[in-house]
Structure 1
Amino acid sequence: MARAQFEYDEGGTTFFYVFISFYTMILIPLTYALWPSAPQENIVDESGCQCAGCKVKRDKKRAIKPWEYTKRLIKVVVLLVLWALYAYVTVHVFSLEVVTEEYDPYKILNVDQGAEPSVIKKAYRELTKTHHPDRGGDEKMFDNIAKAYQALTNDESRENWEKYGNPDGPKAATFGIALPKWIVSEQYGGFVLALYVGVFLVILPIIVGVWWTRSMKYSADKVLVETTRALYHFLQKTPSMNIQRALTVLSGACEYSHKFNTAIIERETDEFEVKKLIKDLRNINESKREAPFYLPWSIKARTLFHAYLTRLPMPSAALEEDLQYNLTRVMPIIEEFMRMHLQMYFHIPLQRPPTLEALENIMKLQPMFVQALWPQSSGLLQLPHITEFNIRFLRRNNVYTCLDLANKNEHKRRVLLNQIDEGQYEDVISVLTQMPRLKISADFEVQGEQDKDVVTVGSIVTLKVTIKRHPLLDVERRAREIKEDAKAALEKELEKEEEPTAAKSRKVWEKPQKKKPKTNKKKAPQPKKKAAPAAATPKPEEEQLLKQDDGSNSGESDEDGTNSESEGADVSVNNDDDTVNATSNNEDSGSDDDDGWDDGMVRKETLLDKEPTDNHPVHAPFFPMDKFEWYYVYLVEKKERRLSSFVVPCKTLKDEKVVELRFPAPQKPGVYAYTLHVRSDSYFDIDVATDVKLEVRPAPEFIPPKYIEDEADDDAQDDDDLSEYTEGSDSDESDSD
């Protein structure tokens, strides 16, 4: 039996087929990964707020924009080159001619098919004279001529040729290898073997090992596992954590240590510059003897955070760069902080679990860093161009929050902000229209039941919270107020113009009507005419005018003062008007026991919902990244002040959205009072909390069903009894016989 033979690709034809197959499998995914994004994504929006912080963020985007175009151009060039190479190889493959010639002795002897033996013999003699090696011919060609002659004249050779296509009989099976022969040659074989060893035994294991070690260092949200362990430790150590303690724990995250994060830069000037910055701050606790808070990197991070929240300028560009990097990592760490608190609160049995106050303090860290404010600072500092001087003046006129300012009449609002120019005032209006005003309503049901509105003991309740978002400042109302003010000003001007014309129309000989009450009335309002323009110039008179407007004019004060404050209370504290239907039909519920919790309700992915998050941008001039509005919804039991539902994030609120909270009903019937919270992670003073109640009824008695099969069994049993009775009677009759 002939042996198998392996032949390498000498001509390089089959190699191109293999090459284009692997090249296609690599090129298509690479094209998908490198496909350049649309250029509209990098357009910098020049409209909106024009404060210094927003301008700086736009300048940074413009600086990144040229590099984005350069990266897009590089991607396009690389893809064009790769696809051009693919097209060239494809055309080359199709142009290759695969030559497969069959053995034909007639062609070798240059005679016609079926020629006579004499003709074949004559042609053979002529060719041997020409190609015989002794006469200078080619030896290989002479062998082919002799073999062709044998195939046509010898019976055995002719049979082999007709059967196997070769006069010598069957050949060994040949298998082609789609690789050039020089790969296994002695000259290049060593280099090829070294390349294989380097790629598959060195480079590939190193890449896999590095990827594995890095992936094991981070959690799902790219937070270091060591940071998660530290958060668990300090939550267990301090269950009732205040904001100052939470900020200290946050500064101890391993992301701010060069040991765990090589992106952190340690400089020799840090010690001097950080100490200089500490002198302007308080509550840094640099002498704290608790690991890792006494380490230099933790003190530096804590100092930068305190300076940022106090809005102090950095003493050097290096510290400013470090602060910007730390801020880019702070939001994922706070989310991990919240997640760890909830896991410990619901899943880990602890003697002293973390409290609800600790969770709310951790939640306050998010708007603190987005707006660069302490919780005790005025929420009016979220607006551009507003300073402490403006806030003192606004407080004297009962304006404490952005909602109070938005509820004011346009004329009064402009008077209150008379210290800023018109362009700055329009920035304030732009931010007020960008900020949200939330209204919530709650309705709950027991899904999967016929009486879904009836809540019984131990049932799983679904609280459907409808959140409606409106602009904090109504643009249409402001436009109406501007038109009314313009109309009133125009009427005053017309009245002033009509007074001299009326005096001129009186005849010279006519005596003017002398009425003393009218002359006295004209003199009486003269101080008011002097006080009106004073609102635009000196500040003491301006304050006096505002006090007169709020105190003397009862109609205006009721409309813009008292009513606006009550409206703000309804929106931000107790939204009773929006929840009448929800509280009357189905009151909110909370659970006294955690035994009925379903693992599906409190899974980790609840805080990791991968959904679109770019709905409403947040005005955050101090925060280095673009921020969009997110909210957190949860339910609190009022009596025991405990968390009754898992915290559900709402990251896609555009105009209206329904968020579902699932929780087990209490184990005892009765009426339970709860508080529903919707908390923002971007703004202060817009959180919504409303009181809801839940009536829990006793569970209905269980009535076992009666199946048809049981009835059939009873009938069969009765038949058996009857048969026994009849059989007995027959036997008795036989006995009696």
Structure 2
Amino acid sequence: MSSDYTYDEQGQFFPFFILTLSGLVTLPLTYNLLRPSKGEFWESIISAFNRRALTKIYRLQDLENTAPRIKSNFKPQHADLVEAQKRKRLRKERRIKRIITVILGYLVMAWMIYLILVTARTTAKVYDPYDVLGISRSADEKAISRHYKRLSLIYHPDKIRPDPAKNETMESLNERFVELTKAYKALTDEEIRNNYLQYGHPDGKQSFSIGIALPKLIVMEGNGKYVLLVYGALLGVLLPYIVGKWWYGSQRYTKERVLVASAGNIFREYKDDITDGGIVNALSSGEEFKDMLKGAQAEAGLAKLEKKVLSENSSFLSTKDRENLKKLDNSTRRKTLALLWAYLGRIDLDDTSLNSEKYEAAPIALALDEAFTAISLAFGNLRPILGSFQTSQNLIQAVPPGSSPLLQLPNFTDAVVKSVEGENAKNHINVQNFMKIPDAERRKLVVGAGLLSEKQYTDAISVAQQLPVLEVSKAFFKVMGEKVITPSSLVQLVVKARFVPPGCTNVPAVDELDLEDIDPDEDDLDALMGRKPAKNRTTKLVDGKKVENKVETIQPPLAHAPYFARDHSPRWHIFLADGKQGKMAVPPFTFTTFDKPIIDEAGKPTFNVQTLKMQFQAPPQVGDFNFVMHMVCDSYMGLDAKMDVTLHIEDPAKAAALEEEDDISEPDEDSIAGQMHALKTGQPPKKKTRKASDDSSDESDTDGDAGDTSDTNTETEDED
């Protein structure tokens, strides 16, 4: 059987070729747009091997798209500029070029599919001698012979004459008679019939043709050198360029998605005793601001900007902060630092371009602050770590470092804050304490000439009552499945907290059962892996049968940040510190979602107790270890919590003694251990029995209740 390779001059296979090529480009780009990441597409593919890192990236990015919003009608000054910067950043993140490429790709694919469906394609027909002769398949050999003789009398070349009206020629008539003869022999001649039955044709094996969907010009003789030149350009120049550009681009960024050069600049600015103003100064060294202030933009309006920022009205700037700004020689960094201070001080620069630039600088500075946080965590000094989190709060709320948390509320100004706190107040009042003031007294403090109107006051109180204040009810250490904590064991810090918005009245008392942490069943793999709470807390009885409750992740509302040109979902960071040495003991665990609803369908607080866990390795020594637990919200000022916690490490011998005191019983029949027992012994395990002397506390232990964690529970004291 021979093969005949031809070129697809009629376009029979060309649509398939183009459809395949366009699909190879369009489909990956579509995936990239539907599941966007901050890095390049191939970087996401590589990150896929690190499932935890990729999941974290997707989760943090999806938060801003799915989280609810705090209801507010407040529109800040220059709200149009803030919205314009949000749209600009969204356009940049969505990558318009990729969207256009995807649209064009789908248009090409749709056109190729249309061509495939409507283009007439010639296909080789299966040879059928009965059809050629025009005879029924049920005819026997005699009937076939008689029919062939009749056709011979009609179509024999000696007897038939061509009809010009039908465009017949002697050649076509001869071919017709040959085909009739072949069909007759295929049904009557034994040898030829065998060929037909075996190969599907009376002549035996047939050749087939393959249409190549390539222009004929490419493979014509004499064009080989040009083909090699094209392949050399594609594989030797274009492909290395694309891979090199991606590699260089991926190496330019840290895992916090800031330029490596920026991280190096911030590292050089780091000091163990750095202040909040010093952190803002360090962030201004980011190389990203050079892209924002290109060319003449670095000098444009700089003198006017500095005059506004360094005026006497800018009382939020310390003497050191002023000196840091004045001594900078680089115009780009000098303007960047002035823009950041103008943003934090909410200074109207009387220039649309400058005001737009100050709102554009804040989200860049927040990204750089994540790099500063990573550097601070590497050094482990408590002051810079807390300062980095506080700088995040300042940037999101557009409030200068050290200022009153009340400035987060809509319409609040320095004059309103002074009316509440007093002229020479040394300590600021947070939103929670402000909302504890009786309404009549609050109104008297902030409503009046030069202060707030009734409507402005109502808007501010409405936002204050929606702030997600997470109050810690209990914090303790435990080891899952154990009664005591032994050296070097994997210990969990369990934090029980609930959202209590400021100004809430009739807050119910915490249910003691909600403060317990129940170990999951041994066959509850999802709970053991931390993917959901313990099974015995998420099942309910329906018609006498256990039904698994659906566990959902609940997001708090997006940060109310009217001056910040980007949506941001709040994060809560919990970490342990050594208060005496001022060092971090356990790195922060970040929480963005919770396992119980925060508000009900009517929009009212549920006061559900949320469970937050962070796992780490216990110290290798026996004894009591005193820590300070910090819980910091990155989006709001004055919502942070701090308390003393003590980790009790017991001697392993004590743990062994406690295990010996426990009754040794057979495993449950429906558990994994019970099934393994049945496989080994060939008999199902015996039902657990109890001694009459067992008290109720023992029963709760075997049910999986970890309520007897008194040895590991930590007495905690809130610190104002």
User: Deviations for 1:619-661, whole angstroms, at most 9, x for unmatched residues?
Assistant: 3222222233222111122333322211111222563532223
Is 1:216 the counterpart of 2:251? The answer is: yes
Is 1:696 the counterpart of 2:637? The answer is: no
TM norm structure 1 = 0.61
Q: Give runs of aligned pairs for residues 411-430 of structure 1, distance below 5 A.
A: 411-419=440-448, 420-430=452-462
1:461 pairs, out of 487, 491, 498, with 491
1:648: which partner in 2?
A: 589
What is the distance in 1 between the residues matched to 2:305 and 2:116?
A: 63
2:364 pairs, out of 308, 311, 329, with 329
What is the distance in 1 between the residues matched to 2:656 and 2:17?
A: 72
More helix as a share of residues: 1
Q: Give runs of aligned pairs for residues 360-379 of structure 1, distance below 5 A.
A: 360-379=386-405
What is the distance in 2 between the residues matched to 1:476 and 1:151?
A: 100
Letter in 1 for 2:430: T
CA-CA distance at 1:186 after TM superposition = 5.2
2:6: which partner in 1?
A: 7
What is the distance in 1 between the residues matched to 2:498 and 2:184?
A: 101
User: Deviations for 1:399-446, whole angstroms, at most 9, x for unmatched residues?
Assistant: 833233211111111111231221011012112112233321334344
1:126: which partner in 2?
A: 158
> Looking at CA atoms only, which structure, 1 or 2, has the larger radius of gyration?
1
Letter in 2 for 1:626: D
1:48 pairs, out of 44, 49, 72, with 72
Cα 1:702/1:101, change in 2 over 3 Å = closer
1:98: which partner in 2?
A: 123
What is the distance in 2 between the residues matched to 1:187 and 1:318?
A: 62
User: Deviations for 1:94-113, whole angstroms, at most 9, x for unmatched residues?
Assistant: x7563426396996999x95
SS at match of 1:676: strand
2:415 pairs, out of 377, 389, 392, with 389
1:245: which partner in 2?
A: 278
1:681: which partner in 2?
A: 634
Say if 2:576 and 2:584, in contact at 8 Å, map to a contact too.
Answer: yes
Report % sequence identity.
19
Say if 2:467 and 2:502, in contact at 8 Å, map to a contact too.
Answer: yes
1:438: which partner in 2?
A: 470
Letter in 2 for 1:405: F
Q: Which runs of no fewer than 5 residues in structure 1 stay unpaired? A: 346-354, 478-576, 586-599, 602-610, 706-737
**What's the RMSD between the two structures over aligned residues?**
5.5
Is 1:635 the counterpart of 2:573? The answer is: no
What is the distance in 1 between the residues matched to 2:555 and 2:201?
A: 79
User: Deviations for 1:517-556, whole angstroms, at most 9, x for unmatched residues?
Assistant: xxxxxxxxxxxxxxxxxxxxxxxxxxxxxxxxxxxxxxxx
1:341: which partner in 2?
A: 376
Say if 1:367 and 1:683, in contact at 8 Å, map to a contact too.
Answer: yes
Say if 2:67 and 2:557, in contact at 8 Å, map to a contact too.
Answer: no
Q: Which deviates further from its counterpart, 614-623 or 17-26?
A: 17-26
What is the distance in 1 between the residues matched to 2:622 and 2:71?
A: 57
What is the distance in 2 between the residues matched to 1:306 and 1:65?
A: 21
CA-CA distance at 1:172 after TM superposition = 6.5
Say if 2:492 and 2:615, in contact at 8 Å, map to a contact too.
Answer: yes
What is the distance in 1 between the residues matched to 2:90 and 2:482?
A: 61
1:114: which partner in 2?
A: 145
What is the distance in 1 between the residues matched to 2:111 and 2:286?
A: 49
2:300 pairs, out of 266, 269, 273, with 269
Letter in 1 for 2:383: E
SS at match of 2:561: coil
Q: Which deviates further from its counterpart, 378-387 or 13-22?
A: 13-22
Q: Give runs of aligned pairs for residues 615-626 of structure 1, distance below 5 A.
A: 615-626=556-567
What is the distance in 1 between the residues matched to 2:635 and 2:133?
A: 90
Say if 2:6 and 2:209, in contact at 8 Å, map to a contact too.
Answer: yes
Say if 1:158 and 1:167, in contact at 8 Å, map to a contact too.
Answer: no
User: Deviations for 1:353-383, whole angstroms, at most 9, x for unmatched residues?
Assistant: xx21121122211111122222322222222
User: Deviations for 1:89-131, whole angstroms, at most 9, x for unmatched residues?
Assistant: 45426x7563426396996999x95368898499544368759
Say if 1:338 and 1:359, in contact at 8 Å, map to a contact too.
Answer: yes
CA-CA distance at 1:211 after TM superposition = 2.8
Letter in 1 for 2:283: L
Cα 1:152/1:439, change in 2 over 3 Å = closer
2:208: which partner in 1?
A: 174
Cα 1:102/1:404, change in 2 over 3 Å = closer
What is the distance in 2 between the residues matched to 1:75 and 1:443?
A: 52
SS at match of 2:636: coil
Say if 1:3 and 1:172, in contact at 8 Å, map to a contact too.
Answer: yes
Say if 2:16 and 2:112, in contact at 8 Å, map to a contact too.
Answer: no
2:708: which partner in 1?
A: none
1:319: which partner in 2?
A: 354
Say if 1:438 and 1:470, in contact at 8 Å, map to a contact too.
Answer: yes
Q: Give runs of aligned pairs for residues 601-616 of structure 1, distance below 5 A.
A: 615-616=556-557
Letter in 1 for 2:127: E
1:88 pairs, out of 83, 94, 114, with 114
2:430: which partner in 1?
A: 401
SS at match of 2:411: coil
1:230: which partner in 2?
A: 265
Say if 1:441 and 1:582, in contact at 8 Å, map to a contact too.
Answer: no
Cα 1:448/1:178, change in 2 over 3 Å = same
Cα 1:80/1:644, change in 2 over 3 Å = closer
User: Deviations for 1:678-717, whole angstroms, at most 9, x for unmatched residues?
Assistant: 1121222221112223333333289999xxxxxxxxxxxx
What is the distance in 2 between the residues matched to 1:14 and 1:437?
A: 64
Cα 1:23/1:45, change in 2 over 3 Å = same
What is the distance in 2 between the residues matched to 1:43 and 1:449?
A: 35
2:522: which partner in 1?
A: none
CA-CA distance at 1:265 after TM superposition = 7.2
TM norm structure 2 = 0.62
What is the distance in 1 between the residues matched to 2:35 and 2:572?
A: 33
CA-CA distance at 1:339 after TM superposition = 1.9
Cα 1:671/1:16, change in 2 over 3 Å = closer
What is the distance in 2 between the residues matched to 1:411 and 1:182?
A: 89
SS at match of 1:114: helix
Q: Which deviates further from its counterpart, 301-310 or 440-449?
A: 440-449
Q: Give runs of aligned pairs for residues 539-550 of structure 1, distance below 5 A.
A: none
Say if 1:583 and 1:693, in contact at 8 Å, map to a contact too.
Answer: no
What is the distance in 2 between the residues matched to 1:616 and 1:264?
A: 39
SS at match of 1:257: helix
Cα 1:697/1:338, change in 2 over 3 Å = same
Cα 1:197/1:649, change in 2 over 3 Å = same
Say if 1:459 and 1:664, in contact at 8 Å, map to a contact too.
Answer: yes
Letter in 2 for 1:363: F
SS at match of 2:629: strand
Say if 2:310 and 2:322, in contact at 8 Å, map to a contact too.
Answer: no
Cα 1:163/1:30, change in 2 over 3 Å = farther
Letter in 2 for 1:468: R
SS at match of 2:341: helix
Say if 1:630 and 1:649, in contact at 8 Å, map to a contact too.
Answer: yes
Q: Which runs of no fewer than 5 residues in structure 2 stay unpaired? A: 37-64, 136-142, 518-528, 531-551, 599-608, 660-720
SS at match of 1:671: strand
Letter in 2 for 1:362: S
